[in-house]
Structure 1
Amino acid sequence: MIVLTSEQMREVDRRMIEDIGVSASALMEVAGVAVVREIESYQRIDRIGIVVGKGHNGADGFVAARYLLCQGSDVQVFAVDDKTACSPLTIAAWQAYERLGGKVSDDANALGQMSLLIDAILGTGARFLLSPKYRMWTKAMRQVGCPMISIDVPTGVDATTGEADDDAIDADVTVAMGFAKVGHLQYPGRAHTGRLTVASLSMPPWLAYQAGAYVTCLTQSSVRSWLPERPATSHKGTFAQVGIWAGSRTMQGALRFAVEGAYRVGAGLVQSIVDDGCEQIALALCPEAIVKRLDVPYDTPEGILHLKAALSSSSVALCGPGIGQRLIDFAHEHPSLLNDFAKMPVTLVADADLLNTIASMPEHGEAFFQNREQITVITPHPKEFSRLTGVAVADIQKDRAAIARNFAIKYRVIVVLKGASTVIASPDGKVMINPTGNTGLAKGGTGDVLAGMIAGMIAQLPEKKLAEVTHAVAVAVYLHGYAAELATRSAHSEQSLLATDLLQFIGKAFHAIIEGTMQR
């Protein structure tokens, strides 16, 4: 599903009108009809209130009101602005509604008489901070307590970033016009959007790409198309080996979760590389894994070379979950050796403590990334990404897609910025947003599972090209989130879900995606 910023949507509108020749009024007619169709899905609605602003969003609301009036519905329009302040198209739509006998009120107190409210106040062009006048109306609408449908974007939500005013509309449904917007999918905007439906307005996808679209939302169909084939003649070597450097004496669980995550998505072999003294624990936790012991501690010049050689024998290397802070001190004493470690000739998935080590190096580890010749995937949560970028967590969260994209392009890495609506940014400038998952994943160990799943999906690729690796990463992220949804829908709650529980639902998530039986 194509996802646009507000600026890109304005450009699509312009091209649709100026280049394609579809008038703005014609687009508004189609938009109004789309809203009416959504309204018709509601049963036993007595009175419909449509709250309109002065811009084109308000014009869409007037068009919907006119159609409802002609159908015999009990509809009342509430105007936030005077008619003289409205755009010419909104004035024309207002007048057409009135000529059919429609009534317009400016009394917010009458909103309480409505059984369904339509938010047509502000659209994609507005910033999220509300003026006192608009705030008065949104607060009054929120107090009614009836279902609400927003046209294009809930009033008070930024269409590009998802930032939201404290009094933004909490829609039950949002009817996006033309294409979904980034703000629909990124929190807090996603929480205000409710169920998202897209009215295409007959806008072709190529027009969005001409306008600079670079974001898509993952869907079941796209993820299913990216699943690796599993020929009947396959053997464990067909699906390659993952090398995992994870865990430590106090965090052995990280190794277990990463190893099983890789196996659960289809990797043929997993080799776990552990410190001297940890091999028996590793064998007990991960009996399916091949365990290789480092005879020399990794935080020594000799040890880091042995580690690099061991990881280089695999198809993909996962490094960092639960390895602890010892590497940071080593990196400060021997930065050139860690930068040489980056040159291992395999695809790298860098997670957790390896990311923290890279971030602690000069220029936030720029030399490490420059030394990478193979594809690199990094899997930071917002705090880890803050250390890597030098950008405050709050600022990252305000514009996750753009900041992750800029980093991916600059350092030639695939960024998996974890959190609600995980962002996957590729160095080719493309961004994907993942819609699956829930708060059950806000637990220790679930990120280790994801890192293993990502490495396991990449390992199965016959060729490690950028597009294919990015798709493999996306499949892992989508499966990980949907496994949590399945787990909390049946055996567990979002509060009780553990990483060990999550692993048991990866197979069920595969089945649902392959068979097309996902329910969200």
Structure 2
Amino acid sequence: MIIVTTRQMQQMDKNTIESFGIPGRVLMENAGRGAIEMLSEHFDLEGARVAVVAGRGNNGGDGFVIGRYLMEMGVSVSFFLLSTRDRVQGDAGANMDLILDLLAEHALSQFIEIPDKDALEAVTEILLDHDLFVDAIFGTGLNADVRGIYRDVIELINDSDKAVFSVDIPSGINADTGAVCGVAIRADATATFAFAKAGHILYPGNFHTGDLEVVDIGIPGHIAKAQSPHIFLPEPHDIAGLIPARAFNAHKGSFGHLLVLAGSPGKTGAAALCANAAMRSGAGLVTLGVPEKLMPVMEPMVVEPMTTALAQTSSGGLDAAALDDIITLLADKAALALGPGMGTDSGTQELIKSILAIASVPMVIDADGLNCIAKNPDILATVKAPVILTPHPGEMARLTGKTTADIQQNRMETARNFAEKQKVILVLKGAQTLVAYPDGAVFICPTGNPGMACGGMGDVLTGMIAAFLAQDLSPESAALAGVYLHGLCGDLLAEDHAFGFSASDMVAGIPQALTTLLS
């Protein structure tokens, strides 16, 4: 599914009106007509009393079109304008005038202006005496906190526990970030126009949207395609198509040899989880390189992956002295996973700097690998091979010099800007993990759940993505497939356990997730 930003949608509307001569009023009519179809499918309108609560902009105009169709269907409709009639202009004003002309013929309908709090207090009882609210207060252009009577009305509607149908987006949701602008409608269903918006998909906007349906309003296809970069919500068939079928005569050499560099004292589990996840995700061979003194601990923890001892720092992490051995190891490898539990000693930092400058195979960098890069971000400019970075918000904050709160406030722009600037693929982990490409495209992962909020999950993800790299998927496809499958694995576990499952459970569940996806 393609998702667009507010700016892109506004540009598409503008281009359609100016280049094709399709009037804005026709687009508004198409929007209202499509929305009424969804409204009729989702709610029982027989005998229902419907309140169309409208702002004075185009979102209100869409609401007027919906209300007009309801009137023609014989439904009892009341219109509540959160302004005065004289302030409603343009296409919205024209559709409001149609409503006013029709009122004389529809005894069941009324039109009430609510310009201020006094007016709201006078009609609150009337407003709440309805079965269904059509929310047409704010559209996708909202970017400031909701105040005044708008806030009061939204709170009244939410507190009423009546059914709510939102037009384009629940009023109060930022269409680009999903953030609540002070207060926002909690809708049971939302009809959006032309394309879904990021605010419908991203938390917390997704929890306010309810059932979402996209209404075709007549935007020409080539105008839509001209808007880039796009945001995407991948669907199961999209991901299944990324994973190549296995030939009957395939062997372990057909699916790549992955090198994993990970582990330090106290973090052996990170290394084991990463290597084992890679095996479960289909890598033909996995070699795990760990600090030499960890070998007696690591070997019982990994059965299928091979292990090799490497030079270590005084505190037990991988050291720069291991570089020559690592170069030799990389000679026949298809991909590299770097970072889980490695530590951040100066020797480890120097090692990572050297690997980035020398390695020619695609790589995934996570955890301490990211923390080492954060101490010297300029080293990303020396990279010769494709790089996938997989930070959680805290690691992303260290990479960018921002706070975690800054990162979380606008995850999508943060991920996109970093990927474009550094020419890397960025996987920004969290609720609805984002995969950002260097060309500006961003994918929002629809899989995953809160039960996955525990230690080791990122190590598993690193192994999964690296395994797909080893199997010769493009770096973009490997990142996307790994993230989606990782979340799907968690979702399958959550069917039996809401939480309490572990990263080791995830590793064991990867084959079932693959089977589910490919079936």
2:513 match: 509
The CA deviation string for residues 391-439 of structure 1, in whole angstroms up to 9 with x for no partner, is 2222222221222111112111100011112111111222111121111
Displacement of 1:94: 1.4
2:457 partner letter: T
Displacement of 1:381: 0.5
The CA deviation string for residues 450-480 of structure 1, in whole angstroms up to 9 with x for no partner, is 111111111111xx6xxx3202211111111
Displacement of 1:205: 4.4
1:474 and 2:490 are equivalent in the alignment: no
Displacement of 1:216: 1.5
* 2: CA distance, partners of 1:331 / 1:447: 20
* 2: CA distance, partners of 1:431 / 1:419: 15
Displacement over 6 Å in runs of 4+: none
Q: Out of 473, 487, 492, which is 1:486 matched to?
A: 492
What SS does structure 2 have at the residue aligned with 1:250? coil
* 2: CA distance, partners of 1:228 / 1:168: 44
Q: Out of 375, 380, 394, which is 2:405 matched to?
A: 394
Contact preservation (8 Å) 2:229, 2:439: no
Contact preservation (8 Å) 2:311, 2:318: no
Residues 74, 431 of structure 1: alpha-carbon distance in 2 compared, 3 angstrom cutoff: same
Q: Out of 114, 118, 127, which is 2:134 matched to?
A: 118
Q: Out of 308, 313, 316, which is 2:335 matched to?
A: 316
1:339 match: 353
Contact preservation (8 Å) 2:263, 2:291: no
Matches within 5 A, 1:372-451: 372-451=383-462
Displacement of 1:338: 4.0
1:16 and 2:19 are equivalent in the alignment: no
Matches within 5 A, 1:210-229: 210-229=226-245
Residues 436, 52 of structure 1: alpha-carbon distance in 2 compared, 3 angstrom cutoff: same
The CA deviation string for residues 223-255 of structure 1, in whole angstroms up to 9 with x for no partner, is 122122211221111110111112223122212
Residues 379, 301 of structure 1: alpha-carbon distance in 2 compared, 3 angstrom cutoff: closer
The CA deviation string for residues 252-288 of structure 1, in whole angstroms up to 9 with x for no partner, is 2212221222122211111111122322332322201
Unaligned runs of 5+ in 2: 104-108, 115-122
Residues 322, 331 of structure 1: alpha-carbon distance in 2 compared, 3 angstrom cutoff: closer
* 2: CA distance, partners of 1:17 / 1:487: 49
Contact preservation (8 Å) 2:365, 2:389: yes
Deviates more, 1:232-241 or 1:159-168: 159-168
RMSD: 1.9
2:120 match: none
Deviates more, 1:147-156 or 1:307-316: 307-316
* 2: CA distance, partners of 1:400 / 1:166: 19
The share of aligned pairs that are identical, in percent, is 34
* 2: CA distance, partners of 1:508 / 1:21: 53
Displacement of 1:503: 2.6
Contact preservation (8 Å) 1:178, 1:203: yes
Unaligned runs of 5+ in 1: 516-520
Residues 200, 283 of structure 1: alpha-carbon distance in 2 compared, 3 angstrom cutoff: farther
Q: Out of 252, 255, 262, which is 1:246 matched to?
A: 262
Matches within 5 A, 1:456-471: 456-461=467-472, 468-471=474-477
1:305 and 2:286 are equivalent in the alignment: no
What SS does structure 2 have at the residue aligned with 1:174? strand
1:507 partner letter: P
Residues 267, 179 of structure 1: alpha-carbon distance in 2 compared, 3 angstrom cutoff: same
2:502 partner letter: L
Matches within 5 A, 1:78-93: 78-93=80-95
Residues 434, 300 of structure 1: alpha-carbon distance in 2 compared, 3 angstrom cutoff: closer
What SS does structure 2 have at the residue aligned with 1:117? strand
Deviates more, 1:264-273 or 1:220-229: 220-229
* 2: CA distance, partners of 1:503 / 1:211: 39
1:330 match: 347
What SS does structure 2 have at the residue aligned with 1:322? coil
1:104 and 2:144 are equivalent in the alignment: no
What is the number of residues matched between the two proteins? 499
1:144 match: 160
Contact preservation (8 Å) 1:128, 1:163: no
Displacement of 1:358: 0.9
* 1: CA distance, partners of 2:36 / 2:198: 24
What SS does structure 1 have at the residue aligned with 2:253? coil
* 2: CA distance, partners of 1:162 / 1:439: 18
1:518 match: none
* 2: CA distance, partners of 1:2 / 1:43: 27
Q: Out of 232, 237, 243, which is 2:248 matched to?
A: 232
